[in-house]
Structure 1
Amino acid sequence: ILAELLLDALPALRGAGARVAICAALPDDAAAHRALWRPQALEHKVPLRAPQLKERPEILQILCRQRAAEGWDVDEELLKEGALDDWGGRVDGFSVADLA
């Protein structure tokens, strides 16, 4: 229903000169509502790769620091440099959106 509402609103928004961006983290094209793939709905698709093994610990570290800054109860040990190195291999295939 949300996809259809967005698509119904697009012509009026574009007609008024608005720029519209719809962002989603999807495992594949089939995960998006079929209406989004019709002409004039989505103009661009930007595929993003999943983080590589060497990038994952840093991403996890940044996410933990963000949560701590937001007031979440994050174990101090997790905030130390290198604390999440072993977790990099455990989150293979997850996007940054999945991890967040």
Structure 2
Amino acid sequence: MTATKIIPFPRSNRLEAADPLPGSGEMAVARPAVPRTVTFKAPFDLPGLAGPHRPGTYELRETRRALDVSWEAWQISLTLLLVDGGITQALDVSTADLDAALRLDRAAG
């Protein structure tokens, strides 16, 4: 088993390892997923869904991964956890797609 060296991100005390830094063999540091909720009052559709999903309040996890640059910068990824009939689906979603779906939901309701 290979030992993992975790290097701290400048001006940060984040301690979770993420993807290896390109060409370094070392690990970048990422912030853990921050859970939030989003509420849809009407059926909604997002890229990656087979069709409209039922309304409800769903957990949205935002993960920030530090970029390997000389200033503090992050790559943000969003995962929407959709629960339906006891099955949870994790759907990666862009900020633009999620914002558009929420705007349509507000306009409908």
- Normalized per residue, the structure richer in strand is 2
TM-score range, shorter chain: under 0.3
**TM-score under structure 2 length normalisation:** 0.23
- Normalized per residue, the structure richer in helix is 1
Structure label with greater radius of gyration:
1
**TM-score under structure 1 length normalisation:** 0.24
